[in-house]
């Protein structure tokens, strides 16, 4: 009996020590994970917008603009804003330097999906589905804007993916994408599912990239000069397929797979039998399906911690046809030696994952001269400024 009692006592002590050790190990690992999340995702103390940011960052409202979409900035600091769901183009000015817009001008109205805006040599350029418009010497006449000049009018008139993001490249040419006129289709017209470029006067238009379903954001790597662009994957292949993409153009004429192949190796169920995925340029990085990456920018400023320099910020507009929503956030893509190596959420909170209600949908990301970022939100009708203070 004494031996049995002693045996049970030893077993009890051993069991308690075993459980304590394992419990400690799990607690330690759990705490480590929680600390990492807290450190990286801490909500800024001055943030009352419900947006989560890494520690030291804060977000404020720069301006309220209905259906704010693409952004552009002039050398004098005027911010130009296009929209897709409405018909106007805006100009914003921060007069007193408090990082809030004091003046808002309507540059034009009655336009057809004037999503894209770009600025060059004193002139404002606006995309309106089939047309590219130019407003000469715009900043001399913000209160009484000039009538636009039509520099090009031969883009397709199709509304489906007809809205365009535009920007001037290092070569001085205006880059203009043309989305596919459908969810998934094969068209004979070469202009569809492409990126084009032209001279500032609308001449010498040419196609530089093919097989792109719908890019609504791009930028040039300041180190290599290569064009990088986002691309929205097709719908109706389920919740997890196909991936949305971040692509890199290294030579004129590359084909990125649409409508035959998606991501690295996802053959399209309707058109994939016609061509192999090995024929096409693979994405630089794959985002989760239906996140809808739109505007992007390479960070080159000095405000954020130095480890952010050279990385890409991407606005994910968010899903519309997924069983549970995804996106509605800003992603940071790490760039090493000219390649995208991983991504993480930089800013979120516009989507309540529990209720599935959204308060905003990020569209474009624009770096300001001081190194802060502007983010447009076409659902919340706002433009935010994200800044960093150690």
What mean pLDDT is reported for the chain?
A: 90
**pLDDT mean over 74-96:** 97
pLDDT category at 287 given cuts 50, 70, 90 is very high
- Classify domain 46-388 at the CATH topology level: Neuraminidase (2.120.10)
**pLDDT mean over 305-326:** 97
Tell me the domain boundaries of the chain. 46-388
- Grouping H, G, I as helix, E, B as strand and the rest as coil, residue 250 is coil
- 52, two tokens: 């989560």
What does the alpha-carbon distance between residue 368 and residue 276 come to, in Å, rounded to a whole number? 42
**pLDDT mean over 89-99:** 97
What does the alpha-carbon distance between residue 212 and residue 258 come to, in Å, rounded to a whole number? 6
Q: Is the pLDDT of residue 375 over 70?
A: yes
Task: Please give the pLDDT value at position 390.
Answer: 78
Task: Please give the pLDDT value at position 102.
Answer: 97
Four-residue CA torsion sign, 312, 329, 103, 149 = positive
- 273, two tokens: 């039998």
- Grouping H, G, I as helix, E, B as strand and the rest as coil, residue 98 is coil
Four-residue CA torsion sign, 79, 84, 89, 94 = negative
pLDDT in tens, 180-226: 999 999 999 999 999 999 999 999 999 999 999 999 999 999 999 99
- Grouping H, G, I as helix, E, B as strand and the rest as coil, residue 245 is strand
pLDDT in tens, 31-48: 222 223 333 444 444 468
What does the alpha-carbon distance between residue 68 and residue 364 come to, in Å, rounded to a whole number? 9
Q: Is the pLDDT of residue 244 over 90?
A: yes
Task: Please give the pLDDT value at position 48.
Answer: 85
């Amino acid at each position: 009996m004494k031996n049995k009692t002693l045996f049970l006592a030893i077993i009890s002590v051993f069991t308690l020590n075993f459980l304590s050790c394992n419990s400690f190990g799990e607690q330690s690992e759990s705490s480590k994970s929680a600390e990492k999340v807290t450190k990286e995702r801490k909500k800024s103390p001055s943030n009352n917008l419900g947006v989560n940011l890494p520690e030291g960052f804060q977000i404020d409202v720069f301006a309220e603009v209905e259906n704010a979409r693409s952004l552009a900035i002039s050398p004098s600091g005027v911010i130009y804003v296009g929209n897709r769901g409405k018909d106007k183009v805006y100009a914003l000015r921060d007069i007193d330097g408090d990082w809030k817009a004091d003046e808002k001008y309507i540059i034009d109205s009655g336009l057809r999906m004037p999503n894209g805006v770009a600025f060059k040599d004193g002139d404002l350029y606006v995309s309106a589905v089939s047309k590219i418009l130019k407003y000469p010497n715009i900043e001399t006449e913000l209160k009484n804007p000039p009538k636009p000049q039509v520099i090009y009018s031969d883009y397709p008139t199709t509304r489906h993916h007809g809205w365009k993001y535009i920007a001037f490249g290092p070569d001085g040419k205006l880059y203009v994408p043309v989305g596919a006129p459908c969810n998934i289709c094969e068209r004979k017209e070469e202009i569809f599912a492409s990126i084009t470029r032209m001279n500032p006067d609308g001449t010498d238009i040419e196609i530089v990239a093919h097989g792109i379903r719908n890019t609504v954001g791009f930028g040039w790597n300041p180190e290599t000069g290569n064009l990088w662009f986002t691309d929205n994957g097709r719908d109706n292949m389920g919740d997890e397929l196909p991936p949305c993409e971040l692509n890199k153009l290294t030579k004129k004429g590359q084909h990125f797979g649409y409508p035959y192949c998606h991501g690295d190796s996802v053959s399209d169920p309707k058109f994939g039998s016609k061509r192999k995925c090995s024929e096409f340029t693979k994405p630089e990085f794959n985002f989760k399906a239906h996140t809808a990456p739109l505007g992007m920018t390479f960070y080159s400023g000095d405000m954020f911690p130095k480890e952010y320099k050279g990385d890409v910020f991407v606005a994910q507009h968010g899903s519309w046809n997924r069983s549970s929503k995804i996106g509605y956030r800003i992603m940071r893509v790490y760039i090493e030696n000219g390649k995208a190596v991983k991504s993480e959420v930089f800013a979120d909170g516009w989507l309540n994952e529990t209720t599935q209600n959204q308060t905003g949908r990020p569209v474009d990301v624009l770096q300001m001269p001081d190194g802060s970022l502007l983010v447009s939100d076409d659902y919340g009708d706002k433009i935010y400024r994200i800044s960093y203070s150690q």
